[in-house]
Amino acid sequence: MVRSSGGSGSTVTTAGYEARVARLREQLAAMPEGAPVRLAKRTSNLFRPRSDTSSGLDVSGFTHVLSVDPVARTADVEGMVTYEQLVDATLPHGLMPLVVPQLKTITLGGAVTGLGIESSSFRNGMPHESVLEMDLLTGDGEIVLVRPDNEHRDLFFGFPNSYGTLGYALRLRIELEPVRPYVRLEHVRYTDPARYFAALERACREREADFVDGTIFGKDELYLTLATFTGEAPGTSDYTWLDIYYKSIRERTVDHLPVRDYLWRWDTDWFWCSRALGAQNRLVRLLAGPKLLRSDVYWKVVSFERRHGLLSRFERALGKPERESVVQDIEVPVDRAAEFLGFFHREIPISPVWVCPLRQRDADRTWPLYELDPNTLYVNFGFWATVPLEPGEPDGTHNRLIERTVTELGGRKSLYSESFYDEDTFWRLYNGKAYHALKERYDPARRLLDLYDKCVRAR
């Protein structure tokens, strides 16, 4: 069976995909009536506790790039395809997804239902904004084609930020954009936050580069990175093994990378989080080799520690204070960014901090579960570490303070990590009215988890 991929003259054989869908339907039919529907997943890029997912629907086969249409600049992709697979399929055609999240093993379906961001987000928004259509498995067991212009349009727009509680993406058709072979990076240092964010806003407004992000090492050490496609490079750096990308920001004013290495510049060291695992020791890097210097390998180490708590027990034995995990991505309007940074430096002892500008791509669209002002440039702050708790401070103290401050500044917080909102506040911030209307239509038996239960109660 053949389905047109939407381009001029390009088709894709979908027999394999349809066979996988048929097997999934058989699994659903075999489940007891009313049994909860969950995916059996071995890995995750979530930084919050998860319910046991060792049993559930097996979607491990949905890992195929079904087609890349270089004329229409689209790709048909199954939901469990990682961005590493997707990029490797599109770059030979001189194309890339409009937004490529920072870690190689993030899946396309995960980025669309759970949001994503990167240095092209000031012009392309988030990954869900380049989706043209999706096949979704809903809570009531139906597989529906959702588009922005069909009878399931409400689910199309409500799917982002639903984290699999309204359904799972089995296939997505997305837009692509052209690339050039290399990316030229310029790292510009600022010492004043107000001037820094003014320069960031200007760079986005004037389109001074193809990619814009930043790294903040301290109150007076802020770097704005302006990256631009180029057809030639005088030489290229390599941050896939012995050298470390984030350290180069302080050492180089201008740098060049092949486009693939630019897209994955953060993955080798999980931004800078590999230092906590000893992976920035040069001897360790030499022995490990590039194949082990990857975010998915670090995830396995962290998962082992979560299960066994060896390091935390060792630190308690040494009399060290309890520590709170503060792993968050938040967005605030650019005119409040310096204010947020001032608060952060006063209250949260974490460095470095990643900065990434974001603007909704199409001002005429509304994504109800994560509404942003389409006329506003936002600044994403990413910070990922642990901080010491003072005697008597409960776990969650710093995270709750961040949540309150972000709300006061008119911002939003991603739900991929732990959240501490009370239920009324959560539904006010994440549009409970729209969510519950979709839940009633597509999961009336509540076979999928509720968004609050999943993201806050961690059920």
Q: DSSP readout, 223-258?
A: EEEEEEEES--S----TTTTS-HHHHHHH-SEEEEE
Question: How far apart (Å, rounded) are the C-alpha atoms in residues 282 and 45?
Answer: 26
pLDDT tier, 442 (very low <50, low <70, confident <90, very high otherwise):
very high
Burial of 363 (C-beta count, 10 Å sphere; 0-12/13-18/19+) = exposed
- In order of start, what are the domains of the chain with their CATH numbers? 2-179 (3.30.465.10), 182-413 (3.40.462)
How far the first Cα of the chain sits from its last, in Å, is 40
Question: How far apart (Å, rounded) are the C-alpha atoms in residues 34 and 336?
Answer: 47
Q: What is the mean pLDDT of residues 1-10?
A: 35
Please write the tens of the pLDDT for every residue from 69-88. 999 999 999 999 999 999 99
Question: How far apart (Å, rounded) are the C-alpha atoms in residues 150 and 154?
Answer: 9
Q: CB-side exposure of 440: number of CA atoms within 13 Å?
A: 6
CB 146 within 8 A of CB 156: yes
Is the torsion defined by CA of 384, 386, 392, 395 positive or negative?
Answer: positive
Question: How far apart (Å, rounded) are the C-alpha atoms in residues 187 and 225?
Answer: 5
CB 170 within 8 A of CB 135: yes
DSSP code at position 321: P
Please write the tens of the pLDDT for every residue from 164-183. 999 999 999 999 999 999 99
- Mean pLDDT, the chain, whole residue set: 91
pLDDT greater at residue 49 or residue 243 = 243
Looking at residue 41, its pLDDT comes to 62
Q: What is the mean pLDDT of residues 231-240?
A: 97
Looking at residue 403, its pLDDT comes to 97
Burial of 132 (C-beta count, 10 Å sphere; 0-12/13-18/19+) = middle
Residue 262 identity = Y
pLDDT greater at residue 11 or residue 436 = 436
Question: How far apart (Å, rounded) are the C-alpha atoms in residues 242 and 245?
Answer: 10
pTM beyond cutoff 0.85: yes
CB 132 within 8 A of CB 173: yes
Looking at residue 343, its pLDDT comes to 98
pLDDT above 60 (res 184): yes
Please write the tens of the pLDDT for every residue from 396-441. 999 999 999 999 999 999 999 999 999 999 999 999 999 999 999 9
Which two three-digit tokens encode residue 417? 């990590």
Q: What is the mean pLDDT of residues 142-150?
A: 96
The angle at the Cα of 211, spanning 175 to 69, to the nearest 5 degrees, equals 20
pLDDT tier, 318 (very low <50, low <70, confident <90, very high otherwise):
low
Long-range CB contacts (< 8 A, 24+ apart) of 47-52? 47/325, 47/327, 47/384, 47/416, 47/417, 47/418, 48/416, 48/417, 48/418, 48/419, 48/455, 48/458, 49/418, 49/458, 50/458, 51/449, 51/458, 51/459
Question: How far apart (Å, rounded) are the C-alpha atoms in residues 347 and 412?
Answer: 19
Please write the tens of the pLDDT for every residue from 330-355. 999 999 999 999 999 999 999 999 99
Backbone angles phi, psi at 274, to 5 degrees: -65, -20
Q: What is the mean pLDDT of residues 244-269?
A: 98
Helix (H), strand (E) at residue 274: none
